[in-house]
Amino acid sequence: MTGAEIGFLVRERFGVGESPVWDGDNGRLLWCDIPAGVIHAVEIASGARRRWAFGEPVPSFGLAQGGRLVVALRNTVVLFDPETGARELVARVEHAKPEMRLNDGKVGPDGAFWVGSMDGSGDGAPAAKLHRVAPDGAVHVVAEGIAISNGLAWNAAGDRLYHSDSRGEIWLDCWDFDAVTGAVSKRRRLREHDEAAGRPDGGACDLAGDYWSAGPSAGRLNRFSAEGELLDWVDLPIKTPTMPCFGDADMRTIYVTSLDSKGDEGRDGVARLRVDVAGVPVGRFGA
């Protein structure tokens, strides 16, 4: 993408910086450091920082009703109050292998928390799944046989769900989506990626119907059409981008988290760039 103005919101090294979430009510960006088990927040206007530690990995989270967050931990999903620190168990997720944990998660237009798991065993039989966690705690398995579940995002109409596997076969799929019931149908393959183009990590959608995908193996942010055609990409100052998130009052700033660049000085943190088309706001758990 030519002419994109790219900079940093935060220049800091995280173990695995992930799951950026725009909190418009408070004018701040939140994200997590998975292995540190910490959720970070920055108020964009003032630069004020906050952090909350959970004592175990925090793979992903989303906004919830009442100013709370819905947070994925290793094998549980909880509601968390940032002001009081109170936690409430929503659901427990069973994993097929002891080393597995939850991974990429987002709140869908149906008000449920959609969260996948990851299987890093490499034993040739990937056991990760994609789950739908309803506000009442019911857990439904949507897809199985995944290595690392990633890339969750919905289009503006709320009738299309994107999902990827960023290891194993490396693919990007989409489903038709019912925003009232959360039902999915007509799953189809949009792309099969290679490492050179950037394996599909976290994703986000814009109002024009395009899908933005972090490509950590290529150090770039890819923009795909609704049918999976590569339209453009942005070479980023962070070495290993993990997920994009649209934010700011006009939803035209993309924030991108990154994981530890392993000694490549100055290429860690949260990058940001301005784009022409606004992003799709993400839902709230329980809405």
E-strand ranges in 200-260 read 203-205, 211-215, 220-224, 230-235, 241-247, 253-258
- Measure the N-to-C terminal CA separation of the chain; round to a whole number of Å: 36
Bridge-based pairing of strands 211-215 and 220-224 is: antiparallel
Q: Has 150 been labeled as part of a binding site?
A: yes
Q: Which of 33, 104, 110, 201 is catalytic?
A: 201
Q: Are the CB atoms for 257 and 243 separated by under 8 Å?
A: yes
Q: Has 222 been labeled as part of a binding site?
A: no
Handedness of CA 100, 104, 106, 110 (dihedral sign): negative
Q: Are the CB atoms for 32 and 51 separated by under 8 Å?
A: no
Q: How far is CA 186 from the centre of its chain?
A: 23
Q: Has 155 been labeled as part of a binding site?
A: no
Among the listed residues 130, 135, 78, the one whose alpha carbon sits nearest the alpha carbon of residue 112:
135
Bridge-based pairing of strands 149-154 and 160-165 is: antiparallel
**Cα dihedral 183, 202, 149, 147 in deg (nearest 10):** 150
HEC letters along 128-178: EEEEEECCCCCEEEEEEEECEEEEEEECCCCCEEEEEECCCCCEEEEEEEC
Spatial separation of the C-alpha atoms in residues 264 and 268, rounded to whole Å: 8
Question: Exposed/middle/buried for 84, CB within 10 Å: 0-12, 13-18, 19+?
Answer: exposed
Three-state secondary-structure class, residue 222? strand
Whether 201 is catalytic is yes
The residues carrying an active-site annotation are 201
- Annotated binding site: which residue ranges? 18, 101, 103, 150, 201
Binding-site positions for substrate read 101, 103
